[in-house]
């Protein structure tokens, strides 16, 4: 089978399309024929070597990718609630010996797979699992009451967009930042209650938030990874969620949550809920572009440059 692979860490040019054996089915798992796999910022970190420590027990070449959509090709004997030919989405952990999602076949635990409702398209749904689970995990940790104020940095991005939509569904008051008129319109479509201007620097963006909320918001989901610059946004005793490794010293009683989507406590149930919310148009999986596997190098350059408003999908 074909797969996007990384034999050595480096710039996007290290990416190549290789032939790999079809992964063998294991107990408790499902083999999925992949229709599409999303490209995420984590893939850039994997490719560059920034998260090499998580690959210490995995032999190269490494296959990136954490989201896939496709059809069930084979199920283990102990998996009784999925059937061959069924359309699904899957969360895939690339830091394991079975590799990531960007391959023609993946084998994943049943707990990381959800059937697709009939109204959802297969390919376009590939960008839902990782960012949807991350947004859900962030809001679970915050556990904010109805009407609480949540700031979402990087709201126009894939993670930020899902976070805004889920937060509004849960009854929160959401504020987000936009850098231009297009982002402003997008944030309104996603459901943001209030929009501030994104500054030229993280500090300037933070000042724009605090100008509108001088006492601070109840919580921040830092989708743009502004880091410690967002602390002034948070009220005394509030909460901050960081979705990538960032060292932040807690202050003023603020609780800082560091989350990793691999640690989501209930992927199976949550993926099923997320797909239904997408079918109900509460969530909107957005696609920036669809590419062939051999175009992965260019796709990584585009993602690193920023400004994409949706996920790039590798179509197999």
Question: Which domains does the chain show, CATH number per domain?
Answer: 2-127+285-315 (3.90.180.10), 131-261 (3.40.50.720)
- Residue 245 binned pLDDT confidence (cut-offs 50, 70, 90): confident
pLDDT at 240: 96
Q: Nearest CA to 6 among 40, 48, 66?
A: 48
CB 114 within 8 A of CB 89: yes
Residue 187 clears pLDDT 90, i.e. is over it: yes
Mean pLDDT over each residue of the chain, to the nearest integer: 96
- Residue 248 binned pLDDT confidence (cut-offs 50, 70, 90): confident
Q: What is the pTM of this model?
A: 0.95
Helix locations, the chain, DSSP H: 41-48, 129-142, 158-169, 181-190, 202-212, 267-279, 296-305
CB 206 within 8 A of CB 198: no
CA separation for the pair 167, 262 (Å, rounded): 21
- Phi and psi at residue 70, in whole multiples of 5°? 170, -150
SS3 28: coil
pLDDT at 176: 97
Chain segment 215-243, per-residue pLDDT in tens: 999 999 999 988 888 999 999 999 999 98
CB atoms within 10 A of CB 241: 24
pLDDT at 247: 80
Name the most confidently modeled range: 74-88, 199-213, 233-247, 248-262: 74-88
Residue 246 clears pLDDT 90, i.e. is over it: no
């Amino acid at each position: 089978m074909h797969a996007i692979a990384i034999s050595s860490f480096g710039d996007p040019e290290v990416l190549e399309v290789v032939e790999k054996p079809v992964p063998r089915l294991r107990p408790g798992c499902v083999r999925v024929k992949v229709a599409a796999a999303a490209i995420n910022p984590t893939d850039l970190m994997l490719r560059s070597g920034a998260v090499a420590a998580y690959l210490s027990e995995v032999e190269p070449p490494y296959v990136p990718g954490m989201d896939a959509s496709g059809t069930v090709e084979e199920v283990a004997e102990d998996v009784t609630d999925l059937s061959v030919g069924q359309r699904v989405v899957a969360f895939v952990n690339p830091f394991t010996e079975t590799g990531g999602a960007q391959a023609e076949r993946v084998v994943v635990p049943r707990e990381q797979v959800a059937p697709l409702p009939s109204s959802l398209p297969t390919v376009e749904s590939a960008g839902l699992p990782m960012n949807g689970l991350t947004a859900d995990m962030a809001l679970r940790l915050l556990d904010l009451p109805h009407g609480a104020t949540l700031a979402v940095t990087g709201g126009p991005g894939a993670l930020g967009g899902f976070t805004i939509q889920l937060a509004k569904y849960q009854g929160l008051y959401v504020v987000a930042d936009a850098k231009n008129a297009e982002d402003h319109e997008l944030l309104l479509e996603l459901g943001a209650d209030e929009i501030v201007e994104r500054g030229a620097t993280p500090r300037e963006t933070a000042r724009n938030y605090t100008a509108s909320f001088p006492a601070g918001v109840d919580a921040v989901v830092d989708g743009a990874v502004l880091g410690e610059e967002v602390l002034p946004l948070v009220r005394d005793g509030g909460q901050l969620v960081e979705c990538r490794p960032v060292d932040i010293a807690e202050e003023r009683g603020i609780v800082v949550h560091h989350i990793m989507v691999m640690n989501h406590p209930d992927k199976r149930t949550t993926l099923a809920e997320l797909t239904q919310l997408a079918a109900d148009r509460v969530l909107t999986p957005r696609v920036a572009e669809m590419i062939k596997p051999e175009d992965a190098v260019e796709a990584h350059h585009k993602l690193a440059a920023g400004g994409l408003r949706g996920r790039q999908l590798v179509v197999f």
